[in-house]
Amino acid sequence: MTQNTHDRLLIIDFGSQVTQLIARRLRELNVYCEIHPFNRVDDAFLRSFAPKAVIFSGGPASVFAEGAPMPPAGVFDMGVPILGICYGQQVMMHCLGGKVERGHGTAEFGRAYVTPTPTTHPILSGWFDTDDGHGGREQVWMSHGDHVSEIAPGFQVLGTSPNAPFAITANPERHFYAVQFHPEVHHTPKGAKLYENFVKLAGFKGDWTMGAYREEAIRKIREQVGDQKVICGLSGGVDSSVAAVLIHEAIGDQLTCVFVDHGLLRLGEAEQVVTMFRDHYNMPLIHADESDLFLGALEGVSDPEVKRKTIGRLFIEVFEKHAKSVGGATFLAQGTLYPDVIESVSFSGGPSVTIKSHHNVGGLPEKMGMKLVEPLRELFKDEVRALGRELGLPDAFIGRHPFPGPGLAIRCPGEITREKLDILRRADAVYIDQIRKHGLYDDIWQAFAAILPMRTVGVMGDGRTYDYALALRAVTSVDGMTADYYPFTHDFLGETATRIINEVQGVNRVFYDCTSKPPGTIELE
Ligand code: XMP
């Protein structure tokens, strides 16, 4: 655990899909917080963490289930404010002498409205405006099967909803607060205000900034790594670049970056990355041209998961080779972000299901005797960009659209061939050039071309063509977890299709992908 330099808030995670959003809301308030799973928080941990306040997250369990997740008993005797959310409310009431009931007919999922009771409390300051046209009720987002049926002694009811009579409760004397809904999600419009009130009541100064995160992260990296050597997989994307610069700042030349050219990069990408990191940042950098290895192993492979796993496995092999070549690196650094984690692993007993095996998380075999350094593991993309700015990375670089570790492989559904990759590279470059020329690059979270596993018939210059079809994708998003397609004008799309077909031999048809996420994902595979 890190040295205690800021007031700290502890989030005890009971396995909710949205626990990380609680941390986000708190960081927006410049409050330092850490998320720890309930089963790793005991009384000794509480003493050493010394939180100024505690939040219990939601979770998928029921307090009635055998072995239901519980907070350590001592948390209620620390004399610090506690906020319980959803399951966190239920477990708080259960522990303090209230009652929870199975939700026969009272389950609530999605939008609900909470109305105030006559009892007021500063935790709701800024809530329930009576002149906002909604008669003082507030929209909240619920997701609960069980509900509290009797509040614990000392608690008061501050708000109710049709199926949650104890939607907002407080024990003002002990500074315990508990709500049935999720204030951390967008669909609870005043949710952020509730967190703001909570941390204000708990006495936080709001002095934790990205600069502070940087210092904290550097200290953690030094603590973790000691005098050992680290290699960092550099992809040229924002995440691994920020991770590399941060780690370099922490441990200098104990870090060697390995840039693996798997033959699945975009046009001119390898040269740009090598120039920037070797020449500009002066970092020890190995440029590993392994395109034959990767493309050879991917020959004939069309299953998306097999592709991802193959690429993950080869990355590891290449890293292992270079870990030895730098004289025994024992740590592998990666720019893994929180969305990669939540979509790839299940919290024990939690609900997060595997959607895709992200190569930078799922591909790490046990046998690889290296420890991981992942300083961005708890950050969202926009936070990584803020950290990159803090570290002095150029704006143009930080603003680059994300590019996935498996590269063009997952933009080439079906079998991957060098011919297809070459066409894709050139088409993608034209598409991005169009977007830049029209001044749209920064309005878009991510844009790319994908080459479809089909040929179609066309006519060019009075002759028949039988060439590849491309899909263009562009999405808006805040964190990559949900996304919407970008509404280009028809003129833009028409002009772009024409340019691609004229400038890139081998393409005779262009589609635009209008799928949001969900139900689609951003990448095609
Ligand atoms: P999906 O396709 O899952 O993508 O909606 C969400 C975001 O993650 C990127 N992505 C990856 N990034 N390794 C990465 O580093 C991966 O295996 C990977 N797969 C998807 C994707 O480009 C988008 O920004």
Q: pLDDT band at residue 364, thresholds of 50, 70 and 90? A: low
Q: Which of 478, 482, 518 is nearest to 24 (CA)?
A: 478
Q: Is 304 in the pocket of ligand 1 (CB under 6 A)?
A: no
Answer left, alpha or beta for residue 133, where phi above 0 means left and psi between -120 and 50 means alpha: left
Give residue 16 CA to ligand 1 midpoint distance, Å. Answer: 22
Answer left, alpha or beta for residue 356, where phi above 0 means left and psi between -120 and 50 means alpha: beta
The CATH architecture to which 8-202 belongs is 3-Layer(aba) Sandwich (3.40)
State the alpha helices, DSSP H only, in 41-184: 43-49, 87-96
- The backbone torsions φ and ψ at residue 156, rounded to the nearest 5 degrees and listed phi first, read -120, 155
Give residue 266 CA to ligand 1 midpoint distance, Å. Answer: 16
Q: In terms of pLDDT, which residue wins out, 287 or 102?
A: 287
What pLDDT shows up at residue 481? 75
pLDDT mean over 450-467 = 96
What pLDDT shows up at residue 348? 38
Is 495 among the catalytic positions? no
Q: pLDDT of 403-436, one tens digit each?
A: 988 999 999 999 999 999 999 999 999 999 999 9
366 CB neighbour count, 10 Å cutoff: 5
Q: Is 506 in the pocket of ligand 1 (CB under 6 A)?
A: no
What pLDDT shows up at residue 367? 56
Q: In terms of pLDDT, which residue wins out, 380 or 69?
A: 69
pLDDT mean over 319-327 = 85
What pLDDT shows up at residue 366? 53
pLDDT mean over 436-448 = 97
Of all residues in the chain, what percent carry a pLDDT higher than 90?
A: 68
Residues contacting 358, CB < 8 A, separation 6+: 308, 336, 340, 343, 344, 404, 405
Give residue 366 CA to ligand 1 midpoint distance, Å. Answer: 23
Residue in this structure with the two tokens 């492979």, named with its chain if needed: 301
Q: Which fold has domain 417-513?
A: GMP Synthetase; Chain A, domain 3 (3.30.300)
Whether the per-residue pLDDT at 2 is higher than 60: the answer is no
Give residue 405 CA to ligand 1 midpoint distance, Å. Answer: 8
How much is the mean pLDDT over the chain? Answer: 90
Whether the per-residue pLDDT at 317 is higher than 70: the answer is yes
Exposed (0-12), middle (13-18) or buried (19+): which is 250, by Cβ within 10 Å? buried
Helix (H/G/I), strand (E/B), else coil: 302: coil
Q: Which of 114, 104, 82 is nearest to 9 (CA)?
A: 82
Q: What is the rounded CA–CA span in Å between residue 270 and residue 121?
A: 58
Q: Which of 406, 412, 422, 512 is nearest to 454 (CA)?
A: 412
Whether the per-residue pLDDT at 361 is higher than 60: the answer is no
Active site residue: 6, 147, 175, 182, which one?
Answer: 182
Residues contacting 460, CB < 8 A, separation 6+: 501, 508
What pLDDT shows up at residue 363? 47
38: its two tokens: 């309930």
User: Cβ(245)–Cβ(336) under 8 Å?
Assistant: no
Q: Is 312 in the pocket of ligand 1 (CB under 6 A)?
A: no
Q: 371-373 and 331-333: which strand pairing?
A: parallel
Q: Per this entry, what is the length of the chain?
A: 525
Ligand 1 atom closest to Cα of 239? 15
DSSP state of 222: H
197: its two tokens: 């009130």
State how far the alpha carbon of 39 is from the alpha carbons of 6, 45, 353, in Å.
Answer: 25, 11, 20
Q: pLDDT band at residue 79, thresholds of 50, 70 and 90? A: very high
What pLDDT shows up at residue 182? 95
What pLDDT shows up at residue 357? 61
In words, the CATH class of domain 210-398 is: alpha beta
Q: pLDDT of 238-285, one tens digit each?
A: 999 999 999 999 999 999 999 999 999 999 999 989 988 988 888 999
Helix (H/G/I), strand (E/B), else coil: 117: coil
Is 147 among the catalytic positions? no
- For the chain, the structural domain boundaries read 8-202, 210-398, 417-513
What pLDDT shows up at residue 109? 82
Residue nearest to atom 11 of ligand 1 (CA): 404
Q: Is 214 in the pocket of ligand 1 (CB under 6 A)?
A: no
Q: What is the rounded CA–CA span in Å between residue 513 and residue 520?
A: 10
Whether the per-residue pLDDT at 351 is higher than 70: the answer is no
Q: pLDDT band at residue 336, thresholds of 50, 70 and 90? A: confident
Same fold, 8-202 and 210-398: yes
Give residue 523 CA to ligand 1 midpoint distance, Å. Answer: 7
Is 101 among the catalytic positions? no
Upper half-sphere CA count for residue 463 (Cβ side, 13 Å): 5
Whether the per-residue pLDDT at 4 is higher than 70: the answer is no
Active site residue: 108, 138, 184, 378, which one?
Answer: 184
Q: pLDDT of 92-132, one tens digit each?
A: 999 999 999 886 667 778 889 999 999 999 999 999 876 66
Q: Is 381 in the pocket of ligand 1 (CB under 6 A)?
A: no
Q: Which amino acid is at 340?
A: D
What pLDDT shows up at residue 479? 73
User: Cβ(211)–Cβ(246) under 8 Å?
Assistant: no
User: Cβ(85)–Cβ(183) under 8 Å?
Assistant: yes
Q: What is the pTM of this model?
A: 0.71
Q: Is 309 in the pocket of ligand 1 (CB under 6 A)?
A: no
Q: Is 521 in the pocket of ligand 1 (CB under 6 A)?
A: yes
Q: In terms of pLDDT, which residue wins out, 494 or 62?
A: 494
Q: In terms of pLDDT, which residue wins out, 128 or 467?
A: 467
What pLDDT shows up at residue 129? 75
Q: pLDDT of 57-74, one tens digit each?
A: 999 889 988 889 999 999
Q: In terms of pLDDT, which residue wins out, 405 or 157?
A: 157
User: Cβ(133)–Cβ(122) under 8 Å?
Assistant: no
Answer left, alpha or beta for residue 423, where phi above 0 means left and psi between -120 and 50 means alpha: alpha
Give residue 35 CA to ligand 1 midpoint distance, Å. Answer: 23
